[in-house]
Amino acid sequence: MGFRKIFDIHTHVWPDKIATDVLKHLQAKSCNLPVYSDGTAGCLRELALKAGYSGWMNCPVVTRPDQAHSLNKKAALVNTWPSLSMGGIHPEDPDLVGELQHIMDLGLHGIKMHPEYQEFNPLEARVEPIWSFCESNDFPVIIHAGNDVGFQPPFHSRPRDFAELIRRHPGLTLICAHCGGWLVWDEVECDLSGHPVYFDTSFSAMYMRDDPGRFARIIRNHGIDRVIYGTDSPWQSLESGIADIEALPFDEADKDKIFWDNANKIFGLEELIA
């Protein structure tokens, strides 16, 4: 194998002055999951370049509607190749379309949504303006899919909801994190696999060890052209994320699609390289 371009679609960083406190809070909420960076943009850059990354995407989550405007301005500060960033929007924002336009004007690369932290179901009427705007403007959406270790059931979304969402909005570029639904992969294979959404690989393979063939099977059956590499850093180490893909029984061209080509088609990564 020669040089391989690697782009991580799903990472998280926070401003230096709050990163330590944020990580402590999230760890306490999430059964003391281990972390593999200190949550700052500088630490992620150091780890990513050491791991051989070409680039990576920050995915901020807005947990209160009054956070969005300032959070997106801060996200724009770390939105220079090789460190790119999505924006964040909250379903209760009083000016959804205005803030979405602000995110676009800042040059951010789409939006990140989280049904658990933001307490919404993807099919609710109140989030329809978000999907309609993103569909009309070819603005990608990364959405947390499946369960979340920091919350108790019932959860706010199921894989079948994303299948219905893309049926309603067939032009939406929808990236369902965690292979389409963290810890509900039986439902993913039954209700979402093969639908015209993307899956990212973040934080998934290590939770499929009870079924060693599942990770490869989900990717193959969904379609390699619609699977994108991600880790959910700091919750997964960059090296383990790479190793998960390298271990797949696919040829090098298919691994290149997962690591780079599919994200490049969505985000025009080649045009962003300085």
Report helix, strand or coil for 205: helix
**What is the pLDDT at residue 37?**
97
Kindly report the number of other CB atoms within 10 A of residue 237's CB atom: 17
Written as one letter, the residue type at 77 is L
- 26-59 CB burial, b ≥16 within 10 A, e <16: bbeeeeeeebbbbbbbebbbebbeebebbbbbbb
Q: Please give the chain's pLDDT, 274 residues, in tens.
A: 458 999 999 999 999 999 999 999 999 999 999 999 999 999 999 999 999 999 999 999 999 999 999 999 999 999 999 999 999 999 999 999 999 999 999 999 999 999 999 999 999 999 999 999 999 999 999 999 999 999 999 999 999 999 999 999 999 999 999 999 999 999 999 999 999 999 999 999 999 999 989 999 999 999 999 999 999 999 999 999 999 999 999 999 999 999 999 999 999 999 999 6
Taking alpha carbons only, the member of 179, 158, 181, 187 closest to residue 224 is: 179
Domains and CATH numbers, the chain: 7-272 (3.20.20.140)
**What is the pLDDT at residue 3?**
84
**What is the pLDDT at residue 205?**
98
| CA gap 193, 109 in Å, rounded | 25
| CA gap 30, 60 in Å, rounded | 18
| CA gap 250, 225 in Å, rounded | 13
Which residue shows structure tokens 């939770």? Answer: 207
| CA gap 72, 82 in Å, rounded | 18
| CA gap 74, 265 in Å, rounded | 26
- pTM score: 0.97
| CA gap 82, 65 in Å, rounded | 29
